[in-house]
Chain A
Amino acid sequence: MNCKSTDILIVEDNPNDALLTIRSLKEHNLANNIVHVRDGQEALDYLFAEGGYSERDPLNLPKAILLDLKLPKLDGLQVLARIRGDERMKCVPVVILTSSQEEGDLVKSYKLGANSYIVKPVEFESFSAAIKQLGLYWLLLNKLPVQTAKP
């Protein structure tokens, strides 16, 4: 499969939202290697190189994860909990990108260690602007600790 280092992992069950997100990111030339998974289980399989992604190098971690909350199989909060529970992935920025304006979801996300919480705007311009902003910040401006186990 794709052996290049992943820039961004999009966890999104809605293909339209995923398409719009990827389009926005690419429009602003923020990411080349974008991986899109469709549910929480697939996200974890990808990250931990399990299941369908068992041949993947588990040390190849994305620079940022865009995580929807409402997902089939495992929901976004469960995925977030697993990510923050893993020593290697603790430092990977996770941006919650969701339709939910619920205060409860917001609080839970931050408590579990989300780095950002963005409500998807209905208007495309606003949506695109938001993706641009988060891409700029998390992929270009944000500095992360040096990855120890790099091939």
Chain B
Amino acid sequence: MSKQHNSSLAIQNENRVLRGRLAEAEQTLEAIRSGRVDALVASVNGEERIFTLEGEDRSYRILIEAMQQGALITSTSGLILYSNHSFAGMLKAPLEKVIGSLVCNWIAPQSQGVLTSLLHLTPGAKQNSELLLKGIDNTEVPVLLSAGKQRLNEGSDQLWMAVTDLSEVIERKIKDAKALAQISADKKLAASALQTLNYTRSLIEASLDPLVAINPDGKITDVNEATVKITGRLRSELIGVDFSSYFTDSDAARSVYKQVFEEGFVKDFPLTIRSSDGHVTDVLYNASLYRDKNGQVMGVFAAARDITERKKAEMIASRLAAIVESSDDAILGLQLDETITSWNHGAELLFGYTACEMMGASNLKLIPQEYHAEEHHILEKIGRGESVLHKDTERLTKQGVRIHVSLTASPIKNAVGQVIGVSKVAHDISERKHAEAEILKLNSELEQRVKERTLALTVSEERLRMAALSADIGIWDWDLESNKVSWDKLMFSIYGMQETGNSVIRYEDWKSHVHPDDMEKQESLLLQIIEKQGHQQREFRIIRDSDHAIRIIRASDAAIIGEDGKTIRIVGINVDTTEAMEMLQEIRKLNASLSNRAEELEASVKELDSFSYSVSHDLRAPLRAIDGFSRIVEEDYAPKLDDEGRRLIGVIRGEAHRMGRLIDDLLAFSRLGRLKVEPVTIDMGMMARQVFQELAAAEPERTIHLNLHPIPPALGTEAMIRQLWVNLIGNAVKFTMNREVAEIEIGVMPGEEAEHGDELNKGQHLEKIYFIRDNGAGFDMRYVDKLFGVFQRLHSKEEFPGTGVGLALVQRIVNRHGGRVWAKGEVDKGATFFFTIPDNGSHATTVPQSSIKPTS
């Protein structure tokens, strides 16, 4: 089954192959028929056999096939009718793809023009052209193409082409050219051998680095000028000397030399050269062996590079680095894309990020969003090579806190001046900003205070002005420089002058109004205040413009001092004191007359005192004599006197006694005026009771009732108040003598301000009014005015004995204590006496003490 199946498959395959070959054959036949194919190559049993359609040129064809050049025949349209293998090989394409294709497909674009010209050759003509073929793999192959056009029998034209591959030729050409060039160069080299040597020598001498050739023994064989300079020794001194002796550390130099021999070279070994004058130069030592043509070591070439400058630069750099690192300011380096490339300690402190965190990170991390535009602007400026100085801006710390910084950004440039980065210095100005804010705040506070103060000043100025106006005070301001005086309205009114438009007058205007007699003194006073400054008061007379009246002016001046310490202005006031002065004089006059009156009064008081003293002394003596001698008459002459005589002598003696009492009372009254008030607290109830008992005891035959209410104490002089009670109670006792039962009532009642209060006592709600009431003879209220007068009596001495001094004394005592006394009465219905002793009254009235000297 399977065999059958296999064979069936094989048959099918074979059938398919056969069909394919048939189709191929048919195509080929068609091609041949159409004249497109003139030879067929068939592979039969591993051999290729070419079948040509025309037999006579077969030998040429073999030759063509065998030759290395490509050969082909095309139609005038470029269709390839024939190609040999060589041409196909040039194109790396199978032959069958070449034959029947258009030749232009195999020509490189730049050579298409050449092809076109070939295709239009006139028949019989030939042309050689170099052009580029294009292989199936698009490789270009340079070729020399020879082409010609021939006319066929039937009148159609054909082109033949022979193609020579130029690739190898060109390669060889290049080689040859190179070889030629080499030869030429060698020739040049040889020609300038000496020149080159001189040139090299110049180079060596021109080198700033000391260059030295040393032989294997370590002896110097050659040096350049730089070596002479650095060692401070002549060339002749150096050659032949051990090289190591010019280094501070000879051992190190020798060991380096040894290293050169061992390793063939040494690179950048640090050594120090000492010059003849002791100057030392740090160098980096570079050396290598040099050999002859045979590889034999000839010695060492050594070059020392002076690194003094580099060391300096390094030192500066390290110093700068230290400064950068130690700076409190944040210093950072950025690329133009904001990548951070350096980050100092100050930046760590300011922003809170460590260098590790920030190196390679973006600077934008530190910039608040709203400052990104600003940053962009800064970078633009930097890009133009400009710097940004001390720009106040804000940054964000790691903690997210906004800080105020003053930012300075400068471009970092490379060797050729190209901006490659930014260096930024950020200075923390939070403190400053804070201080600025504080200052602003203080400023505004100050401003506010100034405003308030100004307002207050304005108000007080206005007040002052009002005060000046209402007090008729004229204000003036004299500017010394311009000699002009500003006057307010009142000044004009005081001087009786018309107001000037600008309220300014000249100093001379004022001067012309001053009374001529006063002028000199006033000017000298003004000069004085200009010089001495401060303030002063003056008084002078003026002659008023309006009525030519002489007025008295009181002036106050104050100097205003300028920046240079000199008086620049005088300001002051004028007051017309004429009326006041007149009044003052009037008052003085009155005062003088008053004090005269007072003196007179005092004198008369004194007179009265001495009078009363005389009375007390001198009047009593004759009375005593009258009484005494009357008595002697009574005793010694009794038998000679009748009853009438004795009665008359009795009258004489009685009158003498009465006069004695009158004098005594009068003296007591007079003494009272001179008695000093020394108030103490007096128990009025107790005192009244004692006095009553004493007086009642003198009248044992009478029935006298005392109704004593509780009464408050009083502040008074004890002797006087006792006298007061004696007189008042004595009166009550006396005027009740005709009553079977005498009733005396003593008490106190609240004050009646409306009725009796005067200015002094107003407001004293509990003014004590003591009263004493009796049921005695009373009195007629019509004569109440006479009640308290001296020697005034409302009753006859026959009715009631008395001198008429008692109540006067009462009134005087009460008055001395600042109180009041008054009485109410009715004939036969008793009397009531009222008095007050205010607590503060004792000080209200003081009578001057007059010392009484007895007249001898």
Contact = CB atoms under 8 A, between A and B. Distances in A.
A17 B620 CA distance: 11
Given A70-B617, A101-B616, A102-B613, A120 B624 contact: yes
A23 interface: yes
Interface stretch (B109-117, B414-422, B626-634): B626-634
A16 B620 CA distance: 12
B624 A20 contact: yes
Contacts of B625: 14, 16-17, 20
A123 B653 CA distance: 8
Interface centre among B629, B631, B653, B856 (most CB of A within 10 A): B856
Nearest to B627: A124
A60 B140 CA distance: 193
B657 interface: yes
Describe A's contact surface by its main secondary structure: loop
B621 interface: yes
Given A99-B620, A102-B613, A122-B657, A69 B854 contact: yes
Interface string B592-613: 0000000000000000000001
Interface in A9-31: 14, 16-17, 20, 23
Contact of A102 (B630, B663, B854): B854
Given A17-B625, A122-B656, A123-B627, A100 B617 contact: yes
A20 B618 CA distance: 16
B621 A17 contact: yes
Nearest to A15: B625
A127 B653 CA distance: 14
A24 B262 CA distance: 173
A16 B621 contact: yes
Interface in A96-110: 98-105
Contacts of A70: 617, 854, 856
A99 B619 CA distance: 9
Interface centre among B628, B631, B663, B667 (most CB of A within 10 A): B628
B87 to A, nearest CB: 181
B827 interface: no
A121 interface: yes
A58 interface: no
Nearest to A19: B628
Interface in A29-60: none
B751 interface: no
Contact of B856 (A14, A71, A122): A71
A99 B653 CA distance: 18
Contacts of A123: 627, 653, 656-657, 660
A36 to B, nearest CB: 16
Interface in A105-151: 105, 120-125, 127
B660 A122 contact: yes
A102 B624 contact: no
Contacts of B623: 122
Contacts of A105: 854
B664 A124 contact: no
A85 interface: no
B464 interface: no
Contacts of B618: 99
Contacts of A104: 852, 854
B621 A100 contact: no
Given A99-B621, A100-B613, A104-B852, 10 more contacts: A14-B621, A17-B625, A75-B854, A99-B616, A102-B616, A122-B660, A123-B627, A124-B628, A124-B653, A127-B628
Q: Which 6 A-B pairs have the closest CB atoms?
A: A122-B660, A16-B625, A124-B631, A20-B628, A124-B628, A99-B617
12 contacts: A16-B625, A17-B624, A20-B625, A20-B628, A23-B632, A99-B617, A99-B618, A99-B624, A104-B852, A124-B627, A124-B628, A124-B631
Interface of A: 14, 16-17, 20, 23, 69-72, 75, 98-105, 120-125, 127
